[in-house]
Amino acid sequence: MPFDPTTPSSSSSGRLFVVSAPSGAGKTTLCKAARAHLPELVYSISSTTRAPRPGEQEGQDYFFLSEAQFRQGIEDEQWAEWAKVHDHYYGTSARFIDRHLELGQDVLLDIDVQGARQILKRYPSAVTIFIMAPSMDVLRERLVARGQDAASVIEKRLKNAASEIASKDWYQHVVVNDALDVAIEHFIAILKGGAD
């Protein structure tokens, strides 16, 4: 058969990375750094029913859906995983993941612990990474300093953080975000396939 570069063989399938972290652990910063460093890495944009935060853009940060639209997606089996996080629905497009993996491109999912479990069931070779702040006190300080959420929302996020941290043991990699540059280096090394 003649060589056709547009038809990837199954062995050239991309790798799927799943990163989870309690809010405030620095996941967004780490993901941004990784994307700048590894421009070929495809970042999956989730859909959510939560309202956009100031500065967030449709199709760039999330696809912002109504609850009816999201539920329709569940019915249509659009989501590779979905979960209710902090009272809102979040989901990852199955078609998006499969298309890029088939093209041989690595895909990064930034999703919560419930979603990560579903992805591992569906894609058993996914590489899972958990990002942690060095302590709960630091986590609280970061959430307050971020100034994005009301006090009651911060308390809720901290409660969720405690239960998410309890799940970190089944992730293959744990990155402790204490010194940011060290954490970025560790994270990128994992995505390149050369770190514990």
Q: Which residues bind ligand 5GP (CB under 6 A)?
A: 23, 46, 50, 81, 83, 85-86, 90-92, 110-112, 114-115
Instruction: Compute CA distances 82 → 30, 67, 74, whole Å.
Output: 23, 13, 8
Euclidean distance between CA atoms 23 and 142, whole angstroms: 9
Q: How far is the CB of 5 from ligand 5GP (least distance, A)?
A: 31
Cβ closer to ligand 5GP: 10 or 66? 66
Cβ closer to ligand 5GP: 6 or 57? 57
Cβ closer to ligand 5GP: 106 or 110? 110
Q: Which of 95, 92, 85 is nearest to 119 (CA)?
A: 92
- Size of the chain in residues: 196
Q: Which residue is nearest to ligand 5GP (CB)?
A: 115
41-54 in b/e form (b: 16+ CB < 10 A) is bbbbbbbbbeeeee
H/E element holding 144? helix 136-146
In degrees, to the nearest 5, what angle opens at C-alpha 166 toward C-alphas 126 and 162? 120
Q: How far is the CB of 57 from ligand 5GP (least distance, A)?
A: 13
CA dihedral 52, 138, 182, 14 (to 10 degrees): -40
Cβ closer to ligand 5GP: 106 or 112? 112
Could you tell me if 170 and 161 are in contact, meaning their C-beta atoms sit under 8 angstroms apart?
A: no
Q: How far is the CB of 90 from ligand 5GP (least distance, A)?
A: 3
Q: How far is the CB of 105 from ligand 5GP (least distance, A)?
A: 18
Cβ closer to ligand 5GP: 75 or 87? 87
Q: How far is the CB of 42 from ligand 5GP (least distance, A)?
A: 14
